[in-house]
Chain A
Amino acid sequence: MSMRFVSTILTGVLAAGAVSGGAPRAGSAPAPSAAVVKGTVKVQGAVPKATRIDMSQDPKCSPGHPGGVMTDDIVADGSSGLEDAIVYVSQGLGDAKFEPPKEAAVIEQKGCMYKPHVVAVRANQELKVVNSDTTTHNIHPAPNNNRESNQTQPPGAPLSMTFAREEIAIPVKCNIHPWMHSYIAVFKHPYFAVTGKDGSFEIGNLPPGSYTITAWHGKLGTTIQKITVGESETKTIEFVLKAQAGS
């Protein structure tokens, strides 16, 4: 009885090892059979107008913005392509485990705004926080599933953080400059993309299979699609997120 118990544990451990060994890792060459999911995220309905941010309380913020600066909570282009949405595999990967990449991701504070507005990292990947301004910031992530921290960063000082668990997405604030908002999304796998200015995304290197794909936006919520991709297939999908008046 007990012998079987121990050997079950062993097989379990071995099996888990095999899965993680066989699964693709970020940075490794795509498997020849790997699939691609790409497309666009669009916004439907009236997008609330961006408003001018009043940065007058800190004169060190404005030199970066001679013409003033607009809010970047919802940014869409002329064909409704939605910037700064995240598209990711939310189901279908089983319990495959992935090593975090060695390279750090970066979030920059510039002109008292976060660049990018949405940053996606892997669990336990280093996130470098850069202060390119001449003023002091504090960076205050408010996670549900990770550690909350709140650190001051004067001009030029180095700072790094990591998040251990998946969370989509952690709101981030600077309490010194209350208009500064961003999101840090943390993934336990490499199958995600942040949309560009035209709302486009591409998730590559995906093992053939059936997946649930989620599109997320900080202000507009989420929507999902179920897809199946075959070997070397490239599938194009479009997501639509609805903007409600006043959102």
Chain B
Amino acid sequence: MRTKNISTNCVVLLALLFSSVTSFAQQSHIGKLTGNAKQGKALYRRYCIFCHGPYGDGTGENAPYMDPKPRDFTKATFKCRSTPSGSLPLDSDLYDTISRGVHSSGMPSWRPLTRQQRADLVAYVKSFSSRFEEEKPGAALEIPPAPPNSAESAKHGAELFESMNCWSCHGKEGRGNGPNARTLTDSKGYPIVPPDLTSGMHFKCGDSDQAMFRDLMTGLDGTPMPSFSDAVKPAEAWDLVHYVETLHLNAKKGILVKAEPKGE
């Protein structure tokens, strides 16, 4: 009798354990919001399925006509993250992306939906990859306060733009025409072009200085744009941000700032 009881308890415990694991993976947590995949599914079928497809693999009806292609959620590889390259994004990263949309792509902003609905969508998007059950996102990047944008900081940024080989893709003048620009493909093999940093165009993962700092440090996974977190110090990343801003401004004034060539 006793052994039977214990073993029954064991089974119940195991069952509980499993059910709580799965239900946790079907949720999202953004601040005080808790999103639910079940609700998210209904929203997804209404708003997202045409592009991202019924199985979340990016092959919706509209996909053939789109460049860049809708994201394949089964790979769990995302461009806009505050976590290290190779890591899963935070729930709040996905929430921000869904809210903001992805500039220069067909991915619209979903701010018209309620915050709860967007949180539910995050939970459902995560359910397409078992990685969200198996792994935890890496530590979120710390973004130190921005130092003032001085000429000196931008000049150091220009030197880093040269020594870090940013120019090999973005071009010496940041116009998106570096020697590699035409060879680049994303991880699905589709051609991808580096943005013209002098055009003043919107960036994909947000336009704030903090967003650019984050993109440089974590990289845009699934694309050739690499992470610089192990390559530059935070202060240097700010220098790069300041330099890229100068490119914007000077382009507006019609002046080209050339990264100083070294070793040529």
Contacts and interface: CB of A to CB of B under 8 A. Distances in A.
Interface of A: 2-3, 5-6, 57-60, 134-138, 140, 142, 147-154, 157-159, 161, 175-178
Contacts of B86: 147-150, 161
B250 to A, nearest CB: 24
B226 to A, nearest CB: 4
Interface string B27-63: 0000000000000000000000000000000000000
Interface in B135-184: 163-165, 168-169, 179-180, 183-184
A150 B231 contact: no
B224 A152 contact: no
Nearest to B227: A151
Contact of B221 (A136, A149, A157): A149
A165 to B, nearest CB: 10
B7 A152 contact: no
Contacts of A159: 230
Contact of A148 (B84, B163, B168, B222): B222
A135 B227 CA distance: 16
Interface string B82-94: 0011110000000
B165 A58 contact: yes
B112 interface: no
Q: Sorted from nearest, which 5 A-B pairs have the closest CB atoms?
A: A149-B86, A175-B224, A138-B226, A152-B231, A57-B179
A9 B207 CA distance: 54
B183, B227, B228, B230 interface centre (most CB from chain A within 10 Å): B230
The secondary structure that dominates the A interface is: loop
Contact of B226 (A58, A152, A161): A152
A6 B15 CA distance: 12
A58 B261 CA distance: 11
A127 B206 CA distance: 34
A3 B263 CA distance: 74
B263 A175 contact: no
Contacts of A5: 7, 11
Contacts, number: 93
Given A150-B225, A175-B169, A60 B230 contact: no
B226 A151 contact: yes
Interface of B: 3-4, 7-8, 10-11, 75, 77, 84-87, 163-165, 168-169, 179-180, 183-184, 187, 219, 221-231, 263-264
A177 B167 CA distance: 12
Nearest to A139: B226
B77 A59 contact: no
A186 to B, nearest CB: 14
B169 A176 contact: yes
A6 B225 contact: no
Given A3-B4, A148-B77, A178-B180, A136 B231 contact: yes
Given A150-B223, A157-B230, A175-B180, 14 more contacts: A2-B7, A2-B11, A3-B7, A6-B7, A148-B77, A150-B224, A150-B226, A152-B164, A152-B227, A152-B230, A152-B231, A153-B231, A176-B165, A178-B183
Nearest to A2: B7
14 contacts: A57-B179, A57-B180, A59-B263, A60-B263, A136-B165, A138-B226, A147-B87, A148-B222, A149-B227, A150-B219, A153-B231, A154-B164, A175-B180, A178-B180
B7 A150 contact: no
Determine which residue in A5, A58, A150, A161 has the highest number of CB atoms from chain B within 10 A of its CB, and name it: A150
B137 to A, nearest CB: 12
A59 B168 CA distance: 12
A57 B168 CA distance: 8
B224 A140 contact: yes
A58 B162 CA distance: 11
A126 to B, nearest CB: 15
A151 B229 contact: yes
A166 to B, nearest CB: 15
Given A140-B226, A175-B224, A178-B183, A150 B164 contact: no
